[in-house]
Structure 1
Amino acid sequence: MSADLLQLDVDTLFEQHGVSEIDDVQKKIQTVVENKREELRTMVGERYRDLLKAADTIAAMQTSAGTLIEQVHCVQGNCRSLNEQQLLGFKTTPTDTEVLLHKRAVSKQLSNYYSTMVQIKLLSSLPELIWTHIDREQFYAATELFIFSRHISTGLQLDAKNTLMQRLPVALKQWEILRPFHITIKQAVLGVLERELLTADIAVDCMLSLLLLDKCDLDQVLQTFLQLRSTAYFNCLQSQGSDAEKDKPRRVKERILASLHILNGTIELLDTCLLANGLLFKRLAECVAPTAAPSINRMDSSDRQLAHLLPDIIAGYKPQFEKPKLLPEQMCDALLKWMSKINSLADKQLQPIFGLVSSMQTIQDIKLAAGTTVKRDYAHLEQQLTLPQAQLDFYTLKYMPLINARVREIIRSSWVAAMQQTYKDVVKLVENISQPTPMQIWREQSDDLPLSLAAALSDQPKRLANRTKGYEAATITLCAQFDTQLASIVQELNVLLQEQTTRAEDKLALINFLRETAEQQMTSYLTQLKTLRLQERQALLQALRNTLALIELCPHLKLCFCQPSSWRQWAGNLTVAGAEHWQRLCALIEEELLQFWQLIVDDILASHSCTEKLPQTITHDVVLRDFALWQTLTLEQRDEEHDQSVQSTIRIPSQPRLSLQTYLHQLIHVLNNAVPQTLPSKVLQAFNQKLLAQLLAHYEQLSAAQCTKDSQNIALQLYFDLKFLERVFAVNREDRSLYERFHGLQRSLRDCIDPFDFELFAEHITTHVSRSAARLHGELGVLTPPHDSTQVANASSLSHEADPNVLCLSSSGSTSLWFPLLPIVMPQAAASATLPVERKSNATESDKGATTPTRKPGTRKNDASSKSKSGAASFFGMSQEWFR
């Protein structure tokens, strides 16, 4: 029934039976379960009762056996006594000698019996005692007891033919129990010698155990010891710690420090134990000394009380050692082999472990922990073993190079990660470039200016200054992220530089490596940027702005080259070299980005070429449409012969051609759309060079035309244009090629003009060129050089005595300003007073001529300088012309 209940299918039961039937089945199952439980209790109770009964029976048997043995002894005694009484009348009286011999034989037999029994008892007690010493890690005592047991067993086996030994096979069986202790003790000793933490006492105890157990010489023990220490070193690097920590993963720092402790501890153990008069030799001398206690003294007190029953060869047994010898040459060879093996293990295992160190703080902790370890002087050991000097300094020879290499790798990998992330961000900004919005940069915002002096003096980004440089919010964010990553690198390196245990030369090498890495990564960044082969204007502008911003907005990038003040004590001569490398990097970036600017400049000039915008031939329609209204001047001269004045009228150009002005303004408009801020001076210079080269080619074509040679006015207008361009673009003798082309072209145009007329026009043309350049200089400010030297004739320079601008605008890694200040033009009345040609008050440039006497009047002094300055001018120390 129970089998059927156990094989029930629950699903089938609920499908085929009702609730009441299911309840019955459940009750039956419960009944069966209770029955099984009762059977189990009964069975267990019966077995337990049988066990107790068997124990009682054994105890009773033991008592009965003791009583029986006692009674047998009594029967034997009674029988012996009765036998002697019955044979008393038949015995002959023995002599005294026979009695004495008989007593001696009986005594010897009895002594042999007791001795055998005691030896068997010792053999039965030794296993537990040996295990006790092994558990206490007293391996020499365990080995001595094992050798003592082997000595006892050997003696009993030699007496195997004795009748008593034949009746007592327990001696042989007991030796079979003791025999495996040879392997057990040796394995325990080898396991202890593989530990990370090993004291000198335990190491000496293990070496003595090996010497006694295997009867080997000291050289073999030394090799075994060094081999096991290399195994401990390997296990430590493999993250195999002590038994209590095997299940826990060990930290990298702990593994490195533990491995170093193993190496230093091994050398310390060799120095303490195996050198002359070492601890091992002292312990050996104690063991072989005549006063050394015999091995039986290691037995329990109950066993030692029976020592008088043992023969002297057992009772007085002591372990014997051959006099160990360890030559310095043997120790040197073994140590060199061990160090070679350690070197190979360190190359394969230690270097990957250092590769897992990810922070400078961990390295500093390692160095501090290694530095706090008490370093022993092994000079005497190296001298005795004829080893090279500092050969045993593992920290300096093995760990310091790996630490320095890891520090360099952390710096390099951090720099690579930061630079790659920055490059990806730059590429993303270049790819997602949108239509430029120049007004966005110049639109005033509420957070442009700092709200307090503390905010202005803080290291927060100067929003207005950044926007004047053309840096958008995305660029500023990119630079902030890059600078944060560099700040972490500098901070981590500073942790090591402030650490006292690091040598000065290592600190100097790390500073130098940081600079080299920064220089290498920045150069690699520029190379990757050039491989993009950007062609679109906005993409080029975005790339070069972001690159320039890395220098402007990342102060920690400069710190990688020009060390902080806290590093100067270690940097030494590197400070000047770092500044030179920084300037060289800035120059390299400017040079590489100048190529980007060249592409932008070439694109602008290609799309707005003067050959397309300026008329190629000058016809009458072009003259009427293009030549601006000339100024008519009336010259009054005195005829000395007739003593009367003679007036003559001349017409000279007053401004460049309208097409030239329109073309220059179109270029300015294109530049403003392409570049929301003014071009850098180098870029502007390159742009002007190419622009002037195109314009000169255009004017050379016009000067060679027949219409120019036939018309003096056309030649005069072209000559005026060239003088204007030369003045506005500040072409001087330093730019020899342009200067010679300008003047050569001017000479060719001057040849087309009547010499007498040109002599009359020359002074007025110069004056008009100066006026036109001063008037249009502000409009052409985007194209004009930042170091403009345009002057009104015989007037003071338009530059200020001091720079009145309180905002330092921008610099691209050098001293050149991107945003030149607008010129301050003097008022017309003040300017006209200094001109060599005095204009009439009722004459204008457009419709009236100016009467100019041939004799130049003296220049009038300007009274403006004597006026009192305004309050603002007095506050800023500026001249009053600044506010006009």
Structure 2
Amino acid sequence: MTANLLNLNVDTLFEQHSVSEIDAVHKKIQSVVENKREELRTHVGERYRDLLQAADTIAAMQTSAGTLMEQVQHVQANCRSLNEQQLLGFQSTANASAKDAVLQERNAGKKLQTYYGTMAQIKLLTALPELIWTHLDNDRFYAATELFIFSRHISTGLQLDGQSTLMQKLPVARKQWEILRPFHVTIKQAILTALEREELLSEMAVDCLQSLLLLDKSDLSAVLKSFLNLRSSAFLNCLQSGPSEPRRVKDRILASLNVLNSTVDLLDKCLLGDSLLFSRLEECASSTCPPSINRMESSERQLVHLLPDIIAGFRPQFEVPQLTPEQMGSSLQQWLDKMNALAAAHLQQVFALVSNMQTIQDIKSAARTNGRPEFVRLEQQLHLKHSQLDFYARKYVPLINARVREIIRSSWSSAMKQTYEQVLLLIESGQSQPPQQIWREQSDDLPLSLAAALSDQPKRLANRTKGYDGATIELCKRFDSHLTNIVQELNVMLQEPTTRVEDKVSLIEFLRETAEEQLTEYLTNLKGLQLRERPALLLALRNSLALVELCPNLKLCFCQPSSWRQWTDNSSGVGIEHWQRICGLIEEEMLSFWLLIVDDVLAGHNCDEKLPKVINHEVVLSDFALWQTLTLEQRDEDQEQSVQSTIRIPSQPRLSLQTYLHQLIQALNLVVPQTLPPKVLQAFIKRLIEKLLRHYEGLAHAECTKASQNIALQLYFDLKFLERVFSISREERTLYDQIHAQQNQLRDCIDPFDFELFAEHITAHVSRAASRLQGELGVLTPSPAAPSQAATAASSLAHESDPNVLCLSSSGSTSLWFPLLPIVMPQAAGRVNSTERTSLALEPVEKTATTTPTRKSGGNGARKGDSSKSKSSAASFFGMSQEWFR
């Protein structure tokens, strides 16, 4: 392209091309010249600039020397002409000829002066581009703008005289203006770029605004609008991070806040009242302002005597604009509305990149340190709404609070999601494995020192007694570590002094609500799996209950630490209520899993299938245990003779019932290696008793039962045994009424006189059988707690410490996993003598006939002595005090 332009024939150009093509060629030539000039300037650089200036100075000195020589010659010619004029009176030449000669000389001098003035203006035009670039490089935008206006003024004067012979011989003037014309766009672009800077000083802002007023001759309202739009662009630029210059999120947020505050501060310093801009405009409009020629170099200023007055005395003209507070407030309100939209669209995206509370605290501390403009005074002066200029409070604080909540929610969601996925993995891996042996002793079960025992380390043996294996403990450890990070990060925000108390309380409440929401979602997802296999159900409920017991930071999300209670005041009790409610919710959901396991076990061992449905003679011989034969001795009041009568009384429940209960125990041991929680055990017993009562109800309506008193007596004994073993009290009204109704129904099948005789002995035998079989049925029998404590213990799946039992399975909640060992109480056999006790011990092996007198004396004392002896021997064997057995 450049080669084609160099080979261009100017003479044939207008003959071979149209006007539009010639115009295009002209623009291309001008563009190439500008590019070459830029390349030359870039290539030469700063080190050769002084050399060029020296060359220009030498050329100027050469021109000045030549001009001086010409002037000396003119002085000599003038002196010669004056000498001749003095001799005119002595000459014979006419006066008319002398006047013509003077006019010719004057015209020649005028033409010469015009010529020198034109040359001086062209010299200025050639020096102006380099000078304008120098001012632009040094961020002196108004000086560059004034020189550009000055060059346009010179070029306009030369173009108006373009038809003269001199100007037609000097096309360089027109070409030089073509070089200077693009500076209008260049200067304006440099001003706009400067106004988009992140750090903008008030002096530079005034320089840019004054340059815009002079360059485009626009009014102040338009300049203000442009200024605010450029500060909006600066705000967006701060929020972005380019690949070449990456910036941290904190720096971007603080930079954007600084742009907003500095914009308001610049408006206050530059445009309100007697500000810098109006002071600068008044100085430029005064008569004492120096002309634009003074901004030229010294070599060019020496040519001022050759320039016309219109050029030498030129200075920019300003009309001091007026900007009322209402106009300023209206423009600022529009800008605020725009910034609200930009902040909602872009600032929130940047805040979404903040990943921890420490960064947020650093942002708040830096925002407090940097300070803010006096927005209250400005709002009153500009008639704006309250706190509209407080950008930090209106735009950043809500986003900070929202981001803090989002961090808490995302951290909780991530922790809960990972825990849920780990629970699924444990469930999938546990279904294919046999039930875990949690009773295998390990070396690290017991603490090695008292300090380790008193520390917060997980009690391994205690956890294993609850069914929490190593995988469950590790699961809870990971979950609790996530919660530790959440609590610590929130503590960073709560300890930050600039956070309001209301915001701190709101964050604490949000943490509690988020924890409750995530736990509820976890339980919902767990229920949505619709687990039916026993191992899967057991793993699910065991891991879920472990979260409450083995994750102390979970409780801190509901019950605030002591360092937080200074802001919550009386809300600590509310936190405990929420914690109890979420624990109740977890226990309720896990109870449904337990009930599925219970129903599955009972469905696999149905009493209708295990127990005989019809009682005949064969069943009596094979199923009924040996009865105890008692000989009663009574005296006849009339004859005073002893009358002996023999009665037979059941001594233990049916063998099929004992076998069935033993099979249930074995099934539970296979499914659940540890004992059942009290609430689950209560539900299991309730369902078991309901099934057994339906079975015994069918037997009670059978003809064989109504026809045989012995069958009815054995069935009555079984029901009394079930009532005693499973502690069916009046508090469980439904079961209590059902079992007593069936007992009364079977009692109707027994002779009243015989039942009156049997009743006392049946009660004693039931008590003995229950005490004897309690060790075998221990996993099914509830703990021997007081009636008032039984209801409390049955209302929870958690556990409670007891001073009579080693704290192996206690978590300090409500009840024990393990009941006490069965102990034969003295009052249980208070009316039986030593011979009868011997027969009871031999009952399972052989039948023994005993004689029981009607009146028994001294039996209680003997029993008390034997019981105290057994207690002391047992206490000495286990190394415990006798209080342990009470």
**TM-score, normalised relative to structure 1:** 0.84
Farther off after superposition, 162-171 or 395-404: 162-171
Query: SS at the partner of 1:684?
Result: helix
1:804-819 pair list within 5 angstroms: 804-810=804-810, 814-819=813-818
Deviations 1:855-884 (A, max 9, x none): 343643846899999899799996426479
Greater shift, 229-238 or 730-739, is seen at 229-238
The 1-side partners of 2:429 and 2:578 are apart by 34
Query: CA 1:303–1:842 in structure 2 vs 1: closer, same or farther (change >3 Å)?
Result: closer
Contact 1:804 1:876 in 2 (8 A): no
Contact 1:804 1:878 in 2 (8 A): no
Whether the 8 Å CA contact 1:436–1:674 is kept in 2: the answer is: no
Aligned to 1:721: 718
Alpha-carbon distance in 1 for matches of 2:343, 2:216? 32
Q: Which amino acid aligns with 1:641?
A: D
Structure 1 residues 454-481: Cα deviation after superposition (integer angstroms, max 9, x where no partner): 2222222211111011011111112212
| 1:637 counterpart SS class | strand
Q: Is the 8 A contact 1:839 1:852 kept in 2?
A: no
Counterpart of 1:703, as a letter, is: A
Write the mapping of 1:703-714 to structure 2, written as runs, cut at 5 A.
703-714=700-711
Are residue 211 (structure 1) and residue 213 (structure 2) matched? yes
Q: 1:468–1:810: 8 Å Cα contact kept in structure 2?
A: no
Deviation at 1:163, TM superposition (A): 5.5
Alignment match, 2:821: 822
* Residue 361 (structure 1) shift: 2.5
Give, in angstroms, the shift of residue 144 of structure 1.
1.6
Match of 1:239 in 2: 241
Amino acid at match of 1:822: L
Q: 2:443 aligns with which of 426, 446, 461?
A: 446
Match of 1:123 in 2: 125
Comparing 872-881 with 536-545, greater Cα deviation is found at: 872-881
For residue 424 of structure 1, what is the aligned residue in structure 2?
421
Cα shift at 1:80: 11
- Structure 1 residues 682-728: Cα deviation after superposition (integer angstroms, max 9, x where no partner): 11111111100111111111111111111111111111111111011
Judging changes above 3 Å, is the alpha-carbon distance between structure 1 residues 306 and 865 closer, same or farther for their aligned structure 2 residues? farther
Match of 2:353 in 1: 356
The 1-side partners of 2:837 and 2:576 are apart by: 63
Q: Within 2, Cα distance between the matches of 1:875 and 1:298?
A: 114
Give the 5 Å matches for 1:695-774: 695-774=692-771
Tell me whether 120-129 or 188-197 shows the greater mean CA deviation.
120-129
- Indicate if the aligned counterparts of 2:784 and 2:820 stay in contact, CA closer than 8 A: no
Secondary structure (helix, strand or coil) at the match of 1:636 reads strand
Q: How many residues are aligned here? A: 806
- Counterpart for residue 327 of structure 2: 330
The Cα of 1:168 is off from its aligned counterpart by 4.4
Q: Any residues of structure 2 matched to 1:539-688 within 5 Å, and which?
A: 539-688=536-685
Equivalent pair of 1:364/1:496 in contact (CA under 8 Å)? yes
One-letter identity of the residue aligned with 2:857:
P
Identity of aligned residues (%): 65
Counterpart for residue 202 of structure 1? 204
CA distance in 1, matches of 2:435, 2:133: 91
Secondary structure at 2:804 match in 1 = coil
Distance change in 2, residues 1:775/1:63 (3 Å): closer
* 2:784 paired with 1:783: no
1:405 pairs, out of 397, 402, 405, with 402
Partners in 1 of 2:218 and 2:836 — Cα distance?
A: 128
Amino acid at match of 1:189: I
1:378 lines up with 2:375 in the alignment: yes
* 5+ residue gaps, structure 2: 1-57, 788-800
TM-score (ref. length: structure 2): 0.84
> What's the offset of the Cα at 1:222?
0.1
The question of whether the paired residues in 1 share the 8 Å contact of 2:419 and 2:475 is answered with: yes
Distance 1:619 1:204, change over 3 A: same
Which moved further from structure 2: 721-730 or 247-256? 247-256
- Please identify, of 636-645 and 198-207, the stretch whose mean Cα deviation from structure 2 is larger: 636-645
Looking at structure 1, the residues matched to 636 and 874 of structure 2 have their Cα atoms a distance apart, in angstroms, of 55
C-alpha change, 1:467 and 1:71, in structure 2 (3 Å) is closer
The answer to whether the 8 Å contact 1:730/1:789 transfers is no
* Aligned counterparts of 2:145 and 2:746: Cα–Cα separation in 1: 120
Note the alpha carbon deviations across 1:843-866, whole angstroms, 9 max, x for none. 613433333333343643846899
Matched to 1:816, the amino acid is S
Is the CA contact 2:461–2:808 (under 8 Å) kept in the aligned structure 1?
no
Matches within 5 A, 1:139-538: 139-160=141-162, 165=167, 167-239=169-241, 247-434=244-431, 440-538=437-535
The superposition leaves residues 569-599 of structure 1 with CA deviations (integer Å, 9 ceiling, x where unpaired) of: 2333442222211111111111111111111
Deviations 1:79-127 (A, max 9, x none): 9969998997453469999999999877766655554444333333322
Structure 1's 741 and 867: CA in aligned 2 closer, same or farther, altered over 3 A? closer
Q: Is the 8 A contact 2:465 2:808 kept in 1?
A: no
Distance 1:674 1:206, change over 3 A: same
Distance 1:819 1:637 in 2: 47
Tell whether the 8 Å contact from 1:824 to 1:882 is kept in structure 2 after alignment.
Answer: no
Cα distance in 1 for partners of 2:759, 2:106 equals 160
- Give distance in 2, aligned partners of 1:857 and 1:658: 34
Task: After superposition, give the CA deviation of every residue in 1:379-420 in whole Å (9 maximum; x if it has no partner).
Answer: 111112211111112222222222222222222222222222
Q: Which moved more, 1:225-234 or 1:871-880?
A: 871-880
Counterpart contact for 2:431–2:536, Cα < 8 Å? no
Residue 857 of structure 2 is matched in structure 1 by 857
Tell me how far 1:511 sits from its aligned partner. 1.7
Alignment of 1:8-27 (within 5 A): none
Whether the aligned pair in 1 keeps the contact of 2:261 and 2:391 (CA below 8 Å) is yes
Relative to structure 1, is the Cα distance of residues 381 and 145 closer, same or farther in structure 2, using a 3 angstrom cutoff? same
Aligned to 2:18: none
Following the alignment from structure 2 to structure 1, what is the Cα–Cα distance between the partners of residues 332 and 572? 45
Following TM superposition, by how much is the alpha carbon of 1:825 offset from its aligned partner in structure 2, in angstroms?
A: 3.1
C-alpha spacing 1:303/1:373, structure 2 compared with 1 (3 Å) = same
- 79-88 vs 690-699, which moves further: 79-88
Alpha carbons 2:435, 2:670 under 8 Å: kept: yes
Which segment is superposed worse, 179-188 or 102-111? 102-111
Contact 2:415 2:483 in 1 (8 A): yes
Displacement of 1:138 in angstroms is 0.7
Structure 1 CA distance for aligned equivalents of residues 366 and 343 of structure 2: 19
Distance across 1 between alignment mates of 2:118 and 2:546: 100
The whole-number CA distance in structure 2 between the counterparts of 1:288 and 1:277 is 16
| 1:838 alignment partner in structure 2 | 833
SS in 1 for 2:438: helix
Tell me what 1:42 maps to.
none
In structure 2, distance between residues paired with 1:717 and 1:841: 20
Distance 1:776 1:90 in 2: 172
Deviation at 1:292, TM superposition (A): 2.5
Unaligned runs of 5+ in 1: 1-58, 241-245, 791-800
